[in-house]
Amino acid sequence: MDFNRTHTLKEISQILHCQFIGNENFPIKGINEIHVVREGDIVFVDHPKYYDKALNSAATVVLINKMVDCPEGKALLISDDPFRDFNKLTIHFNPFIASKNSISSTATIGENSIIQPNVFIGNNVKIGSNCVIHPNVSIYDNSVIGNNVTIHANTVLGADAFYYKKRPSGFDKLISGGRVVIEDNVDIGASCTIDKGVTGDTTIQEGTKIDNQVHVGHDTIIGKKCLIASQTGIAGCVIIEDEVTIWGQVGTNSGITIGKGAIILGQTGVTKSIAGGKTYFGTPIAESREKLKEMAAIKLFLKDRKIL
pLDDT (tens digit per residue) in 99-117: 999 999 999 999 999 999 9
Are 139 and 250 members of one domain? yes
Give the range of the structural domain holding residue 56, as residue numbers without chain letter.
2-93
| CA nearest to 291, candidates 274, 279, 301, 302 | 279
Q: Are residues 77 and 119 located together in one domain of the fold?
A: no
Residue 295 domain flag = no
Identify whether residues 134 and 190 lie together within a single domain.
yes
Q: 239 exposed, middle or buried (CB, 10 Å; 0-12, 13-18, 19+)?
A: middle
The reply to whether 185 falls in a domain is yes
For residues 131 and 272, state if they share a domain: yes
Q: How many CA atoms lie within 13 A of 207 on its CB side?
A: 9
Residue 102 in any domain: the answer is no
Residue 308 has pLDDT above 70, yes or no: no
CATH code for the domain of 29? 3.40.1390.10
**47 and 131 within one domain:** no
pLDDT of residue 243: 98
- Pairing mode, if any, of strands 279-281 and 286-287? antiparallel
Q: Evaluate whether residue 305 is within a structural domain.
A: no
Measured CA to CA, the distance from residue 143 to residue 157 in angstroms comes to 7
Q: How confident is the model at residue 252 (pLDDT cuts 50, 70, 90)?
A: very high
The CATH number given to whatever domain includes residue 266 is 2.160.10.10
Query: Does residue 306 lie in a domain region?
Result: no
Predicted pLDDT at 285: 93
**Predicted TM-score (pTM) above 0.85:** yes
Residue percentage of the chain with pLDDT more than 90: 92
- Residues 11, 150, single domain; the answer is no
Determine the pLDDT at residue 301: 78
Would the pLDDT of 306 be above 90?
no
Which three-class secondary structure string do you get for 241-286? CCCCEECCCCEECCCCEECCCCEECCCCEECCCECCCCEEECCCCE
Write phi, then psi, for 254 (nearest 5 degrees).
-85, 160
Query: Closest by alpha carbon to 202, among 177, 225, 185?
Result: 177
> 98 in a domain, yes or no?
no
**Residue 83 sits in the same domain as residue 140:** no
Residue type, 286: A
Residue 187 has pLDDT above 70, yes or no: yes
pLDDT at residue 185 in the model? 98
Amino acid at 251: G
35 and 127 belong to one structural domain: no
Cβ–Cβ < 8 Å for 134, 153: yes
Has residue 292 got a pLDDT over 90? no
Q: Provide the domain count of the chain.
A: 2
Active site residue 35: no
Catalytic residue among 7, 134, 152, 218: 218
In a domain, 303, yes or no: no
**Looking at 93, 123, 138, which one is the last position of a domain?**
93
- State which of 66, 93, 120 marks the end of a domain: 93
Residue 55 and residue 135 share a domain: no
Over 90: is that where the pLDDT of 2 sits? yes
pLDDT of residue 182: 98
Report yes or no on 169 lying in a domain.
Answer: yes
What integer pLDDT is reported at residue 305 of this predicted model?
A: 74
Asked if 50 and 120 sit in the same domain, the reply is no
pLDDT reading at 208 higher than 70: yes
Domain finish residue from 46, 63, 93: 93
**What element of type H or E holds 289?**
helix 288-304
Give the dihedral of Cα atoms 164, 137, 93, 53; nearest 10 deg. Answer: 40
Binning pLDDT at 50, 70 and 90, where does residue 54 land? very high
Q: What is the pLDDT of residues 67-87, one digit of tens each?
A: 999 999 999 999 999 999 999
pLDDT confidence of residue 143: 98
Could you give phi then psi for residue 88, rounded to 5 degrees? -60, -40
25 and 152 part of one domain: no
pLDDT digits (tens, 9 = 90+) for 133-186: 999 999 999 999 999 999 999 999 999 999 999 999 999 999 999 999 999 999
Instruction: Clarify whether residues 75 and 177 are in a common domain.
Output: no
